[in-house]
Every structure is written in structure tokens, then in C-alpha cells.
Amino acid sequence: MRYLYNLFCYILVPFVLVRLLWQSRKVPGYRHRVRERFGYFDCPEIYQNGIWVHAVSVGETLVAVPLIRAIQARHPNVPITLTNMTPTGAERAKALLGDTIFHVYVPYDLPNVVQRFLKKVKPRLLILIETELWPNMLHYCHATKIKILLANARLSERSAKRYARISRIVRIMLRQLDAIAAQTEDDAKRFEHLGISSNKIHVTGSIKFDMQIPASALESTDILRMQLGINKKIWVAASTHPGEEKSILEAFLRVRERFTDCLLILVPRHPERASDIAKLCRAQALPVALRSKNEFTDQAVLLVDTMGELMSFYSIAHVVFVGGSLVSTGGHNLLEPALFSLPIISGPHLFNFAQAALLLEKAEALTIINNEKELACEVIKFLENEELSEEYGQRACQVVAENRGALDRHIKIIFALFNNSAASGRDCFLNLFRLRGKPARTATRGEHCIAPLWTPQRPCLRCKQRRFLTFKT
């Protein structure tokens, strides 16, 4: 199985490079720092032997940031390396963490690339944010005794069924994890059903409940209000996806019949789609302005084609629709607008944020709609009734306050693993690199060879297994 997986990955490399080039048409960042994705970079020695945090893109990075800050606050001398898959995630990491961490793109899941990365960074602990499992990444970390934590872990019922179809492969990967910090009891049970020991699973809650309003968002409130019009009603449609904007714009036309000066701030999940969305606005005869051009006057729609400003726009909103929920994407973070005590509207597809949605619904702080007509009615209802809007917002904020604490629980798990990891990882890396291509040796008395599945190397002369060899007393 491992041979086939690695062969498939190597065959895909040319196509991956073509895809990077294609993506760079709209996001130039994809053509930069490509060498890092193949493990070619220089890691300063001060960032070695620390913690490696991997966050795929923006959403995961926003979860990783408070976790990293908490680690730095408690143990400022522990070096941290943060990896991302996307340029947007890298930009947010740089903006929020600056030079306090070492940033590099995550290595592609090729054996030699992962080994090259590990040789340079030499992490003692790998923290994977939410659900990001790569066979070679997990295998080589496990083989070199790097502790692995799946943090803020979630596993929807839909994903669990999909993983169950390839349970043999998934079980191997999950067993290489040292700990899972599951968001809910349901998530924990799904992981357990996939074959991981219950001793490794900890129910911690979601780090998203521990997020704070950034000072920059509060500082920009008055400026944005002045630019956009102090007396305007403002509706923010956040993290929207293809197929949602048309419904949102049709709903907005209905809202404009009741509130002629209402402003729609439309924040697509992927800013590179701004030009396509602008065409939709013009097709509906709605004047549209681009945030990147600072066009604010007499526009019905402000299209946010920049990164990192969503929280600032929440600070001036009267009502919020959270996207990724009218289409089957699974929804996005409902707790960020809750921090601002805002009434929250969402579509029905919330399987990626089921816990937050359930808590908000129970508290009567979340309104679920199914189409543009219902969306328009709910927006109008909240804009008309300030008292009702305030009640919903306060209940949403209370839900967040009552569910804090996941961050502290994560920190305890992290440093229990970190303190039990190899002091420097040096012996592990000698096994991984010095022995490659050299004759195998026999495990001596008092030793045994660990033969992880999926890593064909030289045979041990004692057990005759053709596996990667680490010798443990």
C-alpha cells in the first residue's frame, strides 16, 4: 500500500506544479517560495528542536494563533515553526505573529521531502490543527519519535463515514498519533470508532471559544463608520462561496426595498473571486465598490477583496450572515460574530461547526434559513427591531463566554507531550539519515528493531523484516 501511495505522489508532482502555476494567475503567492514545498530552505538553529505547528489555511491559522501565543506566554524559550499550505494562510500568520515564529510552507507528502524538512527543523512535537493527516508526514514523525498531537480535532459524521471506507489506512495513521484533543464527545467517539485508543483521546472543547476580539478591529471601528456612513444599516455577508452570492444579492434587493440606504459588505472566503462577484453585482444593477481601492461613496455593495479585515467589519455590522452554509461546504466560524454580540444568520449546512451551531441554536442566538426569501426576511427583522437584535447578540456572546477553557486544556496536553519527547531528537535523526543506504546491522542484545508499516528500507539481520530500522533499548 505504501509503495503505491508514494508512487502515486511522485507521479502527481508535475501536475501539482502546473496547478500552482494555474492558481498563481489569481493568487501570485502560489508562484513564490515553491522550493520550500520541497524542503529546500534554511532553518535558523534557534528554531530547531522546538514545536512544529501545521495549519492548512486561514481558518486553521486563526485557531493556531491563540494556541501559539499561549505557548509563547508560558514558555517563551520554546521555538515554534508554523507551516501552511496556502499563501493566504501564510499572509495571516505573518500579519498576526510576525517574527516571533519561523514560517515555512508545509512539505509535500513525499518521503524524501518530508525527511529533508525534518532534518532541518528537528521538531520535538508536531501539532496538527483540526484534521490534516498525511501518511508520510505522520509516519516519519512517528519513526523519529516526534510526538504528534491532533489539536482542536473535529470529525463530522460525514467525514467519519468517508474515512470508514478506507479504515485500514486511516487506522494506521491514527495509531501514529500520540494524542487527540477532540472538540466534543461526539468527535471523540468517532475517532475511537476508527480505531484509536480511548487513552489517547481528550475532550477539550474548541479553541475558537477562547478567541478574543483583536485590538486592531476595535481601533478601526470609528474610521470605518466615518468612511461608510455613520447612519447606514450594515449587513455583513461573511466567508461566502460560489453559489451563495447570487442568493445573497437577491435577498439584498428585497432588503433595499425596506432600507434604501442599507450597505451590504460582502466578504468572500477566497478574495481572488472578487472580479466574478463584482460581475454578479452589476448584473443585478447594484453599484459595487472594491475595498482594495478604498471606494466608499454611494455604493450599495462593498466587496472585500483583501485579507484579514473581517473582524473589523464585524465591529460595525448590525447583522451577519455566515457563508459556506447555503451550499454544502459545512459552514464557517459562527463564534467570531458572536464575540461582537451580533445577531447571526446561517444556512442549514453546518456540519463542520455542528457543536457551535447547536449551542447557539439552544440559546436562541442563531437563525437558520434555507433560501434568499427567508434570508431577506430575517435581515429585515433584525434591522427593524434593535431590541430583538441586541437580545440575540447578547445570547450569542454569552454562549462564547460559557464555553471558554479549551486553550488551557490544550496547553497541558502539549507540554506533557513535549516534556516526554526526545531531548533533541538527535538519535532519532541519526537513525533516519545516517543509516540510509548503508548495510543493515543486527539488533544487539537488549535491543529490538521497531518496524513501522509503510517504510521499506534494509532488512534487520535479526528479524529479517525489510523495514526502516530504529533501535530501542
Which positions are annotated as active-site residues? 60
Handedness of CA 197, 199, 202, 203 (dihedral sign): positive
Would residue 239 be called left, alpha or beta, if left means φ above 0 and alpha means ψ between -120 and 50 degrees? left
What residues contact 61, with CB distance under 8 A and at least 6 apart?
Answer: 55, 82, 84, 89, 92, 93, 96, 129
DSSP for residue 107? P
Ordered DSSP codes for 384-432: H-HHHHHHHHHHHHHHHHHT--HHHHHHHHHHHHHHHS-SSSHHHHIII
For 343, the grid coordinates are: 445577531
Nearest to 329 by CA among 298, 351, 309: 351
Q: Do 268 and 304 meet the contact criterion of CB atoms below 8 Å apart?
A: yes
The secondary structure element, H or E, covering residue 379 is helix 372-384
What percent helix, strand, coil does the chain show, rounded to 5? 50, 15, 35
Write b or e for each residue in 35-63: b if 16 or more Cβ atoms lie within 10 A of its Cβ, otherwise e. ebbbbebebeeebbbbbbbbbbbbbbbbb
d(CA 83, CA 225): 36
Q: Do 109 and 35 meet the contact criterion of CB atoms below 8 Å apart?
A: no
Nearest to 111 by CA among 137, 85, 133: 137
d(CA 357, CA 345): 11
Computed over its alpha carbons, how large is the radius of gyration of the chain?
Answer: 24
d(CA 268, CA 254): 21
